[in-house]
Amino acid sequence: MDQEYERRLLRQINHQNLPAEARLTKCLSATCSPVSVKSGDRFIPTRAGSNWSINFHYANENCRSPSQNHKAKDATSDSSKDAVAYAALLRNELLGAGIETVPDPHTEDRRHAVLSQDSHSLFRYTVHTKRVPFDSDNEVSPYSLSPLSNKSHKLLRSPRKPARKISKIPFKVLDAPELQDDFYLNLVDWSAGNLLSVGLGACVYLWSACTSQVTRLCDLSVDGDSVTSVCWNERGSLVAVGTHKGYVQVWDAAGGRKLTSLEGHSARVGALAWNGEQLSSGSRDRVILQRDVRTPPSAERRLQGHRQEVCGLKWSPDHQHLASGGNDNKLLVWNSSSLLPVQQYSDHLAAVKAIAWSPHQHGLLASGGGTADRCLRFWNTLTGQALQSTDTGSQVCNLAWSKHANELVSTHGYSQNQILVWKYPSLTQVAKLTGHSYRVLYLAVSPDGEAIVTGAGDETLRFWNVFSKTRCTKESKSVLNLFTRIR
């Protein structure tokens, strides 16, 4: 017998034969002594209290770098879905999770709850004596040589959703000379008749998406004025034009003639919004005027609530509430009858130009802040409470919801000049588009809801395919979904 091994064995036997008091005294003296004596040749840890599900969940996170984790959250390729399917398969075989369908990679990344809350020990041995009749559709054949469980076979047979692919390259680029690089203006809009209106300097041009024909609608240089905002009505027959001198002109696009010119503002009109036959206009004079284009100009509503320039206006899909954003960092909500705002949100730290009402969830309002804020925020206007927010990392210039899915697109300025597509309510980035060299200040959605056009101070208009009609329009069952769908 090895002498060293025999010496350690005798030391352990003597230690066990000592009385409790002597053993405690020896341990204390060994602790105080600078020289520690090893009483065993190996350490066997106890795993009785280990949560194997949590350890398995964090194993994949710890083996990747932070940059890899960030890329995994934005991944939409087939390889990322294969990785999620493989992780679910391992959970089934090692933990008995019972997963039968491949989870969504976006929701999988944001989940911190463990899929299986099974309290059974990992190494418990059980014998299943209950026999069930064989079902060829749902059960694995008892003569199968596959080592996988029934749940894993269902997981592998589950249908796979096609990968979402968004082109990173615009399908069309148009030159837009004299397109102003001004955050507070709204110079691009897309009509229901598939006409794009663009304010360039003192002129408004119409571009047909069907024929690519360009026509000049008006020229304000004769009056020494310039265009500061454009907005189509819902039917796409009338286009409103806000001017630097404070006028609001209404033009018939088909006939190319001016129907009326509305006065009332003492400074430039940077925001316009139609609500049926009513037209709302926001100005640098801090006033919002609401007028019916069919009645005399004297019949108007003056909404005063902002302390600085009004730079964002949007009516809700049910035509009952108007949201306004201003350079005073305020987001106000007005109803159709009151002269005072019914709700006021002050969480933004910069100008609020980007405003968008959700077409899917009643009362859901999204807003974005300027350079000092950079945040997307979501509000439940039915209860007046804030829902979620996320820091985008750059100035938020515009927001628009998809008509077919619970997604929205945002355009950004300082400092990244990018276009982001978000999934709601998970707020996962579906796509990141770049190409503009200046702030992406202007955004409009095509009438079919599939394409968007963006404009920037680099004097270009870029067209992107970001949404699809074929996507599922079912609402997410998240606990954040506090609204009912508009029918």
Print pLDDT tens along the chain (487 aa). Answer: 567 766 776 676 665 555 554 554 444 444 444 444 445 566 666 665 565 555 555 555 555 554 455 444 444 455 666 777 788 878 877 777 778 777 765 554 444 444 444 444 445 555 444 444 444 455 666 777 777 777 777 777 777 666 678 899 999 999 999 999 999 999 999 999 999 999 999 999 999 999 999 999 999 999 999 999 999 999 999 999 999 999 999 999 999 999 999 999 999 999 999 999 999 999 999 999 999 988 876 678 999 999 999 999 999 999 999 999 999 999 999 998 888 999 999 999 999 999 999 999 999 999 999 999 999 999 999 999 999 999 999 999 999 999 999 999 999 998 889 999 999 999 999 999 999 999 999 999 999 999 999 999 999 999 999 997 754 434 333 333 333 333 3
Taking the CA atoms of 258, 259, 264 and 269 in sequence, report the sign of the dihedral they define: negative
Cβ(330)–Cβ(352) below 8 Å: yes
Q: What integer pLDDT is reported at residue 145 of this predicted model?
A: 74
Q: What integer pLDDT is reported at residue 146 of this predicted model?
A: 78
Helix (H, G, I), strand (E, B) or coil at 299: coil
Tokens read off for 83: 């990785």
How many beta carbons lie within 10 A of that of residue 152, not counting itself? 22
Domain annotation covers residue 202:
yes
Phi, psi of 252 (to 5 degrees): -85, 115
Report the domain count for the chain: 1
Q: What integer pLDDT is reported at residue 477 of this predicted model?
A: 34
- Nearest to 286, CA basis, from 265, 272, 301: 265
Q: What integer pLDDT is reported at residue 441 of this predicted model?
A: 96
Q: What integer pLDDT is reported at residue 483 of this predicted model?
A: 32
- Nearest to 243, CA basis, from 216, 225, 218: 225
Domain annotation covers residue 149:
no
Distance, CA of 32 to CA of 29 (rounded, Å): 5
Tokens read off for 99: 């997963």
Distance, CA of 344 to CA of 333 (rounded, Å): 6
Q: What integer pLDDT is reported at residue 88 of this predicted model?
A: 81
Domain annotation covers residue 288:
yes
Domain annotation covers residue 310:
yes
pTM (2 d.p.)? 0.69
In the chain, the amino acid numbered 413 is G
What's the CATH number where 342 sits? 2.130.10.10
| Domain hosting residue 389, numbered range | 182-393
Domain annotation covers residue 327:
yes
Domain annotation covers residue 422:
no
Distance, CA of 429 to CA of 417 (rounded, Å): 16
Q: What integer pLDDT is reported at residue 269 of this predicted model?
A: 97
Tokens read off for 259: 């129907």
Domain annotation covers residue 326:
yes
CB neighbour list of residue 42: distance below 8 Å, 6 or more residues apart: none
Domain annotation covers residue 252:
yes
CA atoms within 13 A on the CB side of 435: 22
Distance, CA of 100 to CA of 471 (rounded, Å): 23
Q: What integer pLDDT is reported at residue 484 of this predicted model?
A: 31
- Nearest to 325, CA basis, from 275, 276, 377: 377
Tokens read off for 442: 């202007």
Cβ(361)–Cβ(325) below 8 Å: no
Distance, CA of 367 to CA of 348 (rounded, Å): 9
